[in-house]
Structure 1
């Protein structure tokens, strides 16, 4: 395919992070029709039950009406497994992130949280196609549990995966670690290199986080990059929109 597409993905969507995204999303909306995939956390850090926040639910209803997509993003977005016991675990769960909720879950634990998240979406009346684990970290138990759900896809930083068979599709992603000034500086350099490397890739994902929105340096980078990619001819879609489009292009297959 000669077409090139862009997926704009907003992570960690919850009542307490909505304000971080509000102005940025307004600026994106001003660019034209740029659908967004919103990664929604049902009970962020065990203090933000989505079903109790009618205002955010109304806002997300409105985003769906615009053509956006809502994606299940963990359940608590918090690593509450027993403390790390090896250097490798400590690196992944304390240096890389503190929020790899699905990194250590067994199959039964993962399935329970997935089903709870699916139930929240159903209660809100939202269509649901995909799941993204916090920090893209999935245990083998999580992978097995996903095969038991009606979900149609998941992803990590480099791929989309069709479920239930985990068919891998190349989908390079750009993301920042924006928690400190030096991290933001390094992230900009790394992402600039990756954007150049993947400029001809059929699909490019931008994975943004609330902390990116709290710093003018990172917020401006993302908005300018989106403008550049649109001007270069990339067509914006949601995750499920892109996946359905690929199926529609296969002879004899319908989405």
Structure 2
């Protein structure tokens, strides 16, 4: 197995090594998406990178129970131990769908457009009927909480895409938090806790790489006026040096004005 990330002791509070501690109401929320046995090496590399910028394990991980139906965490005791260790270090653990694959794609309309252009066949919860969305959320939440020995931090749909069935299911399952491209909210009450775009990167094509580099550069100048900044990184980012450089530049800029924080701080 890959060695555990560099911080050894549990951390259950926000840490920072920048002047941003003087503005505690300005939060920086950072997450590693697509955490699964198939992405473990890339997740380790991203976690080490984030720790250097954020002063410790002050970020979240989004866990997929069975990534593309090829990497089930059920029965994988070695990966269970890694998940528990990350959680013990203070990393927030979110449920990130079930398989991260759109198995009910829409052919037409807005849902079809989103499924085709906003993700590469990974909008799992965009078109799921309510009953299927509810079953996957409940089973995933129960499995992950049994592994971690604690509640999950919340639910974030693959590609941040939710259909009506998924949104209705969120209200029933009891997640503390949910997130899409433009906001973080409390599913049980509908209360919006933070607004503003997620800064993220895409590695699947030269065009996507260029557009994400352009947007992140713009975000470094325009977004620090917001009280809460959100950054999301993916295992595929580790394959493109230009994306890693952009991630470094973005985090270096954001920690100057915003304190690395936990999503749960939005509920305080």
TM-score (norm 1): 0.88
SS at match of 2:152: coil
- In the other structure, the counterpart of 1:56 is 79
- The answer as to whether partners of 1:44 and 1:75 remain within 8 angstroms in 2 is yes
Q: Residue by residue, what CA displacement relative to the aligned partner does 1:182-221 show, whole Å, maximum 9, x if unpaired?
A: 3212211112213322112110000111111211111121
> For 1:30 and 1:195, how far apart are their aligned partners in 2?
19
SS at match of 1:104: coil
- In the other structure, the counterpart of 1:252 is none
- In the other structure, the counterpart of 1:142 is 166
Q: Residue by residue, what CA displacement relative to the aligned partner does 1:119-149 show, whole Å, maximum 9, x if unpaired?
A: 2113202421300011111111111111111
Pairs within 5 Å for 1:1-255: 3-31=25-53, 32-81=55-104, 83-86=105-108, 88-97=110-119, 98-124=121-147, 125-172=149-196, 173-230=198-255, 232-240=256-264, 242-244=265-267, 247=268
Structure 2 unaligned residues grouped into runs of 5+: 1-22
How far apart are 1:151 and its partner, in Å?
1.0
> For 2:202 and 2:27, how far apart are their aligned partners in 1?
24
- The answer as to whether partners of 2:26 and 2:257 remain within 8 angstroms in 1 is yes
Task: Say how many residue pairs are matched.
Answer: 242
Structure 1 unaligned residues grouped into runs of 5+: 248-255
> For 2:227 and 2:50, how far apart are their aligned partners in 1?
22
> For 1:129 and 1:63, how far apart are their aligned partners in 2?
13
SS at match of 1:138: coil
> For 1:111 and 1:87, how far apart are their aligned partners in 2?
24
- The answer as to whether partners of 1:71 and 1:128 remain within 8 angstroms in 2 is yes
**Cα 1:126/1:44, change in 2 over 3 Å:** farther
Q: Residue by residue, what CA displacement relative to the aligned partner does 1:166-193 show, whole Å, maximum 9, x if unpaired?
A: 2123332111222122321221111221
TM-score (norm 2): 0.84
Aligned alpha-carbon RMSD (Å): 1.8
How far apart are 1:2 and its partner, in Å?
6.9
Q: Residue by residue, what CA displacement relative to the aligned partner does 1:46-75 show, whole Å, maximum 9, x if unpaired?
A: 121112322222222122122110000001
- In the other structure, the counterpart of 2:19 is none
